[in-house]
Chains A and B, each alone.
Chain A
Amino acid sequence: MLDEILVIRESIPIFYYNRDPDRAMSNDWYILQSGFFVALSSFANEMSDDKLKYVVLENKLYALDEVSDILVIFGDKEKMTQEVVSKLQGEITKAANYLSYLLDKHDLDTFVPSPSQLKEIANDFGDYLKQENLVEDDSPFDPHESRSMMQKFIFKSIGYTPGQCNIGRAERLKRLLIGMMGFVVAIIAAFLIVLFNGNPWLMLTLAVPLGMGFFGLYQYLFKFCVVNGLTKKYDMH
């Protein structure tokens, strides 16, 4: 995943920074990670237009804007408004400068960094953030419980809610249309059976169009695609 990200962004490295209990030597041991969220590369590509660098640490995302020299922090507990950022301006600028200094020190702007370099920067930056009390949630990283801010941000923005809504308006209408077609076919077939044959057992053949009808209707009503749900996907178009 890291390779993919670096290939896409080329000269702008992306760091996903976290603490990994499996590899942690002590409480102060931080490592850089990548690949926890699938959509990062596309997001990174989007952000590269604005020359942003970002780091995700525990429940926070630190985004470094090279133009404004600002480190944007997305937090769980406090909504990151302009006001909050303004209040944190001094610390943010300091942290941004420190991260810039680390990146310059390791000359990471022009080539793909090695894992040891990433680890070194992660440790240095982690130390700095802890010293400056910029890390509120310092609980050990649990990949099953923890949410990356990036992924949460994406899901929330596009309206995907696990177990509740995994398709958008266009996809819902598609399913409603298919469902209605199923019902229409079933009604026509039922009339034909009654009209020409009258054998009640033939009614059982209506299970297919009726099933299709209910399947489409329920997916429309629940805003949920069964196939997407079973194949771990979402489509919010």
Chain B
Amino acid sequence: MSETTKLKLPKPELFEGEVDFPEMIKKDFRKAVLIISLTALSTIVLIGALWALAFFL
């Protein structure tokens, strides 16, 4: 195959952008909610433990 007929794939440079597929948006949303929930839960548990420690000791 000659030099000119080599397959050229487009080089992606779009490292940031917007997502416009509904199911992708849904998946991202679920993950975001999961992280927020985990954060809230972890914070509550740790604060509870710290409070108990300070209260009883």
Contacts and interface: CB of A to CB of B under 8 A. Distances in A.
A38 B47 CA distance: 43
Contacts of A50: 8
Contact of A163 (B13, B15, B28): B28
For the complex, would chain B's binding face be called helix, strand, loop or mixed by DSSP majority? helix
A231 B28 CA distance: 9
Task: Please classify how large the interface on chain B is, using the bins under 10, 10 to 19, 20 to 34, 35 or more.
Answer: 35 or more
Contact of A193 (B25, B43, B54): B54
A47 interface: yes
Interface residues of A, number: 63
Contacts, number: 143
Interface of A: 36-39, 42-43, 46-47, 50, 52, 63, 65, 67-68, 70, 72, 80-82, 85-86, 89, 144, 147, 151, 153-154, 157-158, 162-164, 166, 168, 190, 193-194, 198-201, 203-204, 206-207, 210-211, 214-215, 218-219, 222, 224, 226, 228-230, 232-237
Q: 9 closest Cβ contacts across the A-B interface?
A: A163-B27, A229-B32, A200-B54, A162-B24, A200-B55, A229-B28, A157-B12, A235-B16, A162-B27
Interface of B: 1, 4-25, 27-32, 35-36, 38-40, 42-44, 46-47, 50-52, 54-55
